Amino acid sequence: MKLKSLLLLAALATAGANAQAELITFNGISAPPQFLPWTYDGLGLDPSITLESSSAGLNFPSGSQAILGTAGPAFITLKTPSVLSSIEFGGWNYYFSWDEQCSLVISGYRNGVKVASQVFNPVRDGADYQWFTADASFTSAIDTLEIDGKFDTRFNQWSVDAINLAPVPEPETWALMGLGAMAVLARRKAGKASTAVPAA
């Protein structure tokens, strides 16, 4: 009985933690406002982030357009605390791909405190524009993502095609899952007690 109860609780917890994991693409953006903060799919994007569409001659791995950072570090506020799994990124545009001098710095913040940071130095294997997947695998939940791309001495820009986030349930969600598990267990226990046959 105890083993079954533990397995049920573990299954509920795992389902709650992983149910909303998603790859966020930027296909639905029409025209972000200029010089103003804006939102998309619950994400808050700062004014320095604009849009890169397929008209620039790019082939996007996970959609038809990407966000473009044009002025150094840019911040994205997440709709719920999440764990960053990966990010798909490239250089500024079709003409400015990444080379050995380039890097992408991804940092995560929770309540204003930096809790994770990684630097990626992609190596291009040909002359054409390329996209890269950075496996961030942050272990801490974040509520703000900072992206800083360094192309070379002239440009400080980057393109991001998709962000893979796994939202972390808030304490209230865990409490509701716990209550649900307790209700299921209580119901099972009551059902077994009512079907017991009294001794003669």
Q: State the DSSP string of 98-150.
A: --TT-EEEEEEEETTEEEEEEEE-----SSS---EEEE---SS-EEEEEEEEE
| Residue 193 predicted with pLDDT over 70 | no
Asked whether residue 9 is assigned to any structural domain, the reply reads: no
Task: Judge whether 136 and 142 are in contact, CB under 8 Å.
Answer: no
103 CA to centre of own chain: 20
Split at pLDDT 50, 70, 90, the class of 10 is very low
> How far apart are the C-alpha atoms of 39 and 31, rounded to whole Å?
11
Highest-scoring range by mean pLDDT, 160-169, 174-183, 185-194: 160-169
Tokens of 198: 């009294």
CB atoms < 10 A from the CB of 122, how many?
A: 20
Q: Count how many domains the chain has.
A: 1
- Please provide the average confidence, as pLDDT, over all residues in the chain: 75
Confirm whether 122 is domain-assigned: yes
11 located within any domain: no
Q: Is residue 62 part of a domain?
A: yes
pLDDT(35) > 90: no
Greater model confidence, 180 or 16: 180
193: in domain: no
Q: Which domain holds residue 31?
A: 22-172
User: Cα(123)–Cα(103) distance, rounded to whole angstroms?
Assistant: 10
Q: Could you read off the pLDDT of 155-164 as tens digits, one per residue?
A: 557 889 999 9
**pLDDT score at 113:** 97
Look at residue 186 and tell me if it is in a domain: no
Positive/negative CA dihedral, 135, 141, 147, 150: negative
pTM confidence score: 0.72
Residue 46 lies in a domain: yes
CATH number at 65 reads: 2.60.120.1350
pLDDT of residue 30: 80
Q: Is residue 31 part of a domain?
A: yes
Nearest Cα to Cα of residue 83 among 137, 120, 134: 137
